Chain A
Amino acid sequence: MNTVAMPSVHYLVILPEIILTVAAVGLLIASSLVPGRLRSSVGTGVTVIASACVVVDCVFQWVDISRHGPSTTMAHVIIEDGFSVVAISVLAVSLGLSALVADGWLCRERIEGVELHVLVLASAAGAIMMAQANDLVVIFLGLEIMSIGLYVLAAFDRRSARSGEAAMKYFLLGGFSSAIFVYGIALVYGATGTTQLGQLAGFLSANVLRSQGLLLAGTALLLVGFAFKVAAVPFHVWSPDVYEGSPTPIVGFMAAIVKVGAFAAVLRVLASGLFTQQDGWRPMVFALAALSMLVGAGMATVQRNVKRMLAYSSISHAGFVLLALWAASPRGTAAALYYLATYALLVVGSFAVVTVVSADGHEDLTSYRGLARRRPLLACSFTVLLVAQAGVPFTTGFLAKLGVIESAVEHLGWPGVALGVIAMVATAVSGYFYLRVVVLTYAAPLDASPAAATASTLATSRPRARLAALGSGILVEDTRDGELVDHAEVYGAAPANGETAVPLATAVAIAVCVVPTVVLGVWAGPLVELTTRATMLFHP
């Protein structure tokens, strides 16, 4: 019997997966050993500590890469480079923050047990696998681990029928998209004889394919699978329903983890493995990016539910990252990484605010009316998060949008310019629906019908009252005449809940999301440099 040469394992590189898996399995074992139900705060503590450990591991990996350069391990299926390390740390931070947000929610809903934490830990481990995979098979496994956890998390609120419906939709459509993705892997394998990205790139640069058809079809199917996961138009239909139905703290986690994990993988597959096939995939990415930006921003303007609005805004954000992918340049990759890092914080923070404000189940935009009176600090944080998503200067959101548009316009010729113009239009439109919520937040609580309120506030001329008039004016403006009465009822009835309780853990999470958004927006150097350096260390 001949001996088998086991592949070398660089444990530092796969430590993030090990930490998260050990934490998840440890929680499961502990919950079965401890009499009664394990308190959910234990789960939160373990999750936060595990994600902190992953961040520390990322620092060590970064030092390792700076010394020895990027490398692969475990038979070349796992990669260690600057890009993967930054993506992993973003994922770990999103995991920790989401756990803090979920803690407040679990207490409020009186849900004991650690199942939620086990699922988020495993999902995050799947996303990390995607971020550092160098093989289509591993990317698929990571995608499935992440998605299965999220399907269950979407159904986590068992008392809500909407939650179950959201999970069912997500599961069925996600299952289809996974099948399409595997079909794509099979065709790429058929065309090139390998699933490993390094070998794929090597094969394609050394050989000229007699006919592109098979590889092109495989690439298209892979892209469809990814586009579904990141909710790019026209594969976005599931996303508003799932965002609306799922428990709110889960939605923030879902949005951040899926976007970062899937985009890290798609960037590596297209910009590294299939780099030589640019002429084939760039037109497809062009269409996805343009449609996502426009449809996402356009549909967000007509939403009345804050979670649906954020869902469409996240579709629009996916379009912006696709823009950087379309650029297919080191600068584009750096811009995409920067965008993902900032977006993850913004989306987790935004949904954290929604979690506490919509505690009574009112997710209508009108429940934000007068939030500034009730909770000035919370309203201020929400304003920063929304304004940053809109891309206003002195926030990270501005630099992120600037970066991706720059990387696209760098390509001379009409497609780059067209995408740049579309991105500007989408940004302008998104300004409208983000600021609408901000204005509403600072509007005075309304008792009478909006028309009467507008009249009365116009009569007085105090600044705050004017702002209120502006708020209700905007809202009245976009209604048709016949709907006015109906709206009057909705707006009048909204702020029934007296106080909005903000648990300490959630407050910490929101602060961690808000402070870097402003600080790194003004003091832009460090993060921009980090992402640029990370992509310079991109494994070829």
Chain B
Amino acid sequence: MNALRIIGAFLKLNVQVALAYRSEAVVQILLNLMWLGWELTSLAIIFANTNELGGWGPAELIALLGVWRLVNTMMSIIVWPNTEKFNQGLRDGSLDYTFLQPANSQFLVSITRVELWRLWDFVIAVVLIVAGLGMSGRVAAPANIATFLALTVSGAAVLYSLWIVMIAVTFWFTRFDNNVTILAALMDAGRFPAQVYPFWLRLLITFIIPIAVATTVPLQGLRGELAWWEVAGFLALGVAAVFLSSRLWKAGVRRYSGASS
């Protein structure tokens, strides 16, 4: 398989980069653990003062923290580093070389840079999800777990597609190098269930910058709160997002004319 060989080549390259900056990775892992401590402390403080937040208990918020970290890890492994590379390439023209490669360009710009040592964050995220589920005391039905997994994947796909849209828009507005800032800024809002936010903020993070679709929604699926047609709707949204964003990407690439021309 060609795609697998390309991924393999990029992984090898990124392993070499990661090995060259070993102590940096150690520092970042320690910092990440510190933020984890911070996040758990803040949850502990909230639940020292209340039993539930918007109808969710502490165990479920720990699981939500896990899902949020899962999404965040995806963002920091591929999305943020590749955005930097993409914006730089668009400015100085080195993006030309990407388009010259005989492979899907969207695929290439998504995996050129991978911050591999952050894979460790995945482990933390999964531990949080499992621990949260275990603490909640309720045994999730296998169907609900399957729904949860499917919604997590489709939520991540929605955010990934939104990212593709945001960077593809840069083909039309070249000077817009703050293209992903609003996404990065709003990520923090995913740490708590969308139900606690005022109406306008819920609207914003559900429909416009749909962070809640990748964090709150999968957990609702796990709790069995979603009707079958809602689950189907969110899964369809994931598929539609991937399809539409790749169409927009192709239109953008056709517009691209290099930095010098």
A and B held together in a complex: no
